[in-house]
């Protein structure tokens, strides 16, 4: 790329929701293979410290575009209608939230969680959405006791048998437990989507101001990301190399497993096969918003069209699963 062409690129600040791990591969691939540059964008990618933080970063204007749990966006929008944000590409068609336990605990189904102690950070998506999981599975919200813990020790506590169960993102906690010496066959996982919860997962978000002032920038960002996501789905092994390039301490085999779990459970779903990558179903979106509002105890429900806008998505033909 010539210096004149490089100078013409528009800088874009982008924040992830979490660390540089397997699921961040398509963003890093798009940057490192020049797909953002082909759209006239110079995208800088920063790690995050949780979806709520990513939403705040975009809301305050510190970042132009972000990657965050759609339910964190609902929560923020319900309390801050004066700072409108929208999701423009639904990356995770399902919430990755799940309950994990050890087989030795005797927990095999949601009903077995009654009277148990669950550990999670206070901001954990699975903990916040617990009322939805409980409602779908015949449990009361207060049927379990919560222990607030730092994310770094959540899986350690379960591996040591110091708590009965935990909540966490499926592709994170599952591998973290295995990394702490728990055999796969000794892990019980109860993914929220398999137990009636219709919440959507992580989405690409932007402020209304950016969408109104620079719509072509957002469309270009999504075209580049969509192209990279297609490549990631077709060849995860090659895609994870961009994670290792970004963070040389990352273990390629571990992050490949994490990426594959995320793609299989949250990206390449039956609904996505029907409607294409990035899109949502209007009826389900409404139910998901109502479910999040109820679970999070929000005072008002933001309108669906104030939370998701499909107008910036690439053409439907370009969003089919490979």
* Confidence band, pLDDT 50/70/90 cuts, at residue 125: very high
pLDDT of residue 6: 53
pLDDT of residue 139 exceeding 60, the answer is: yes
Nearest alpha-carbon partner for 228 in 277, 175, 282: 277
**What are the tokens at 265?**
């459970």
Q: Would you say residue 291 has pLDDT above 80?
A: yes
For 98, residues 6+ apart whose C-beta sits below 8 A from its C-beta are: 126, 167, 168, 169, 170, 173, 174, 189, 190, 191, 192
Q: Whole-prediction pTM value?
A: 0.95
Exposed, middle or buried by CB within 10 Å (0-12, 13-18, 19+), for 38? middle
CB 243 within 8 A of CB 28: yes
Rg over alpha carbons for the chain, rounded to the nearest Å, is 19
Residues 229, 222: Cα–Cα separation, whole Å = 10
Give the torsion sign (CA, 243, 249, 255, 258).
Answer: negative
Residue 24 has pLDDT above 60, yes or no: yes
Q: Average pLDDT for residues 216-232, to the nearest whole number?
A: 98
CA dist 134 and 197 (Å) reads: 9
pLDDT bin (cut points 50, 70, 90) of residue 296 is very high
Are residues 205 and 16 in contact, defined by beta-carbon separation less than 8 angstroms?
no
- Residue 321 tokens read as 């699963």
DSSP string, 33-70: TTHHHHTTEEEEEE--S-HHHHHHHHHTTS-SEEEEEH
- For residue 68, what are its two tokens? 């965050």
pLDDT of 76 above 90: yes
DSSP string, 166-229: EEEEHHHHHHHHHHTT--GGGEEEEEGGGGT-----EEEEEEHHHHHH-HHHHHHHHHHHHHHH
CA distance 64 to 60: 9
Q: What is the pLDDT of residue 2?
A: 45
């Amino acid at each position: 790329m010539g210096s004149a062409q490089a100078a013409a690129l528009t800088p874009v600040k982008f924040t992830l929701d979490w660390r540089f791990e397997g699921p961040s591969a398509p963003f890093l691939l798009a940057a490192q293979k020049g797909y953002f540059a082909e759209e006239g964008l110079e995208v800088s990618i920063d790690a995050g410290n949780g979806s709520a933080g990513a939403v705040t970063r975009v809301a305050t204007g510190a970042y132009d575009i972000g990657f965050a749990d759609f339910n964190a966006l609902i929560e923020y929008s319900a309390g801050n209608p004066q700072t409108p944000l929208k999701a423009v590409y639904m990356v995770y068609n399902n919430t990755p939230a799940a309950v994990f336990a050890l087989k030795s605990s005797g927990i095999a189904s949601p009903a077995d969680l009654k009277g148990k102690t669950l550990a999670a950070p206070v901001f954990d998506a699975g903990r916040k959405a617990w009322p939805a999981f409980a409602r779908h599975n015949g449990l009361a919200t207060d049927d379990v006791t919560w222990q607030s813990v730092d994310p770094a020790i959540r899986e350690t506590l379960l591996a040591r048998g110091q708590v009965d169960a935990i909540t966490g993102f499926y592709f994170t906690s599952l591998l973290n437990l295995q990394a702490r010496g728990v055999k796969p066959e000794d892990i019980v996982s109860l993914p929220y989507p398999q137990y009636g919860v219709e919440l959507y997962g992580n989405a690409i978000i932007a402020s209304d101001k950016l969408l109104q002032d620079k719509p072509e920038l957002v469309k270009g960002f999504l075209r580049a990301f969509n192209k990279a996501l297609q490549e990631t789905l077709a060849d995860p092994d090659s895609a994870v190399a961009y994670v290792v390039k970004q963070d040389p301490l990352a273990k390629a085999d571990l992050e490949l497993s994490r990426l594959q779990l995320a793609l299989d459970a949250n990206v390449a779903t039956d609904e996505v096969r029907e409607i294409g990558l990035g899109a949502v179903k209007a009826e389900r979106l409404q139910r998901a918003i109502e479910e999040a509002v109820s679970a999070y105890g929000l005072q008002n429900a933001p309108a669906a069209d104030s939370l998701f806008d499909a107008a910036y998505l690439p053409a439907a033909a370009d969003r089919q699963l490979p």
